[in-house]
Amino acid sequence: MINKASKIKIYSTSWCGPCSSAKRLLTEKGFSYEEIDIEENGMSRDDLFNITGGRTVPQIVIDEKTLGGYDDLLELESSGQIFS
Ligand SMILES: N[C@@H](CCC(=O)N[C@@H](CS)C(=O)NCC(=O)O)C(=O)O
């Protein structure tokens, strides 16, 4: 579930299509988020895994709990769990 009180973090890279799609969807719904570009921050995929449990980008973290990638965000939207 995402609502206006949710604290959203997105681990991303600059060249990743699903990262852009996830950010666009959240912005369209009026959410702000913290973006962490793993390459700009010198993070390896192992670092990403240790923090989020996933190795692909985006990794979307809601209130310190990993949601997953863009497909997981879409699933949340289609099941009516994004309250903008
Ligand atoms: N199904 C995932 C796809 C994510 C994905 O394929 N990310 C690519 C970058 S666009 C990636 O991290 N690839 C690295 C890998 O597969 O190891 C989602 O919707 O987030």
What are the pLDDT digits (tens) for 31-76?
Answer: 999 999 999 999 999 999 999 999 999 999 999 999 999 999 999 9
Alpha-carbon distance of 43 to 18, in angstroms, equals 19
Q: Which of 10, 25, 45, 57 to mutate to test the pocket of ligand 1 (most atoms within 8 A of CB)?
A: 57
Query: Could you tell me which of 23, 20, 24 has the C-alpha nearest to residue 8?
Result: 23
Domain ranges in the chain are 8-78
Distance, CA 71 to ligand 1 centroid (Å)?
Answer: 10
Instruction: Name the CATH superfamily for 8-78.
Output: Glutaredoxin (3.40.30.10)
Asked if omega into 58 is within 30° of 0 (cis), the reply is: yes
Name every protein residue with a CB atom under 6 angstroms from any ligand 1 atom: 16-18, 55-58, 69-71
pLDDT value of position 45? 98
